[in-house]
Amino acid sequence: MQEKKIPITIGNLVQYFVAETKEKKLVRDRVKLPDEKGNYDIKYYLENQLLPAVENILQVFGVETKEIIEGKKQTKLI
């Protein structure tokens, strides 16, 4: 934000998203502002935002988050 000369002060709301890249980079290097081009890093959001929030619910149904990440399909109910 400093590089783009966007003023920011304590208490400001900063909108951003984590973009996918071809090479592995730190999350801080993949952050983009909403007006910048880039695709959301779906894997990042799945592993770090969505699955941790619903992990306990999935365990009740016998679904491991690892199965979802690896793309394994459930073949039966419980």
Quote the strand ranges of 1-78, DSSP E.
17-18, 31-32
pLDDT at 13 (0 to 100): 94
Measured over all CA atoms, what is the biggest interatomic distance in the chain, rounded to whole angstroms?
55
pLDDT at 50 (0 to 100): 93
- Going by C-alpha positions, the residue among 48, 72, 77 that lies closest to residue 62 is 77
pTM of the predicted model as reported, rounded to 2 decimal places: 0.71
Residue 34: phi and psi, rounded to 5, are: -55, -30
Integer Cα distance of 19 and 70 in angstroms: 21
pLDDT at 41 (0 to 100): 95
How confident is the chain (78 residues) per 10-residue block, as mean pLDDT? 86 95 90 94 92 91 83 66
Tokens representing 28 are: 């801080």
